[in-house]
Structure 1
Amino acid sequence: MATQNKDGFFARVYETVEQIPEGFVATYGQIAKLVGEPRRARYVGFALHVNPRPGEIPCHRVVFADGRICEGFAFGGPEVQRTLLEDEGVVFRDDTHVDLAVSRWPAGL
């Protein structure tokens, strides 16, 4: 992905992630689909790993396709991601998986 395209892609990812309402999560693949690049879920992860505005862009609201939170959450580890999500009312089905049936943002589904 050329730098120009990467920057445009990252900007679209950030704009989309900012729209995820508190109390909901989206998957990396869902975000990729919403920005028009359905096969670029890993690139969504790359973009969120270098989030230029932590605290403003709620990257903690993005999880894996099976609802699993990120083991290497860039801003403090999986415990921090889980706490942030629980504080917003996101429902978990076990220690590491969000209940997507309850807490998934329906955009693009």
Structure 2
Amino acid sequence: MTAPKPTRTVRRGRIFPDIQWSEEKKAQWKAEQEAFYQRCKIIFDRVQPELIKSHHNWYVAVEPESEDYFTDKDELAAIHKSRQQHPNAPVFIFRINETGIAGTI
């Protein structure tokens, strides 16, 4: 006869319970993300009218420190292009259309 399977204990809760963000830290992170978006949005708004004519529905990765932007049909390819020029710099992805929104909810 086969041995019975041991009962599995179900663990509930956070994976790392000792890592908890306070409300202040969450608010600070959101504020930093919003500030980064606003810096990238300024660059996107400047280049969007000329890019929409030739690259409609492509993606653009904006790096705000150097004000460089990289376009491609594929979102990951645009990010890859930016990583080749600026390996450790964060980028923001926009879609080259009327709204600039790159994803759906």
TM-score of the aligned structures, taking structure 2 as reference length = 0.30
Work out which structure has the larger RCO, using CA pairs closer than 8 Å and 6 or more positions apart in sequence.
Answer: 1
Q: Which has the higher strand share?
A: 2
* Rg (Cα) greater in structure: 2
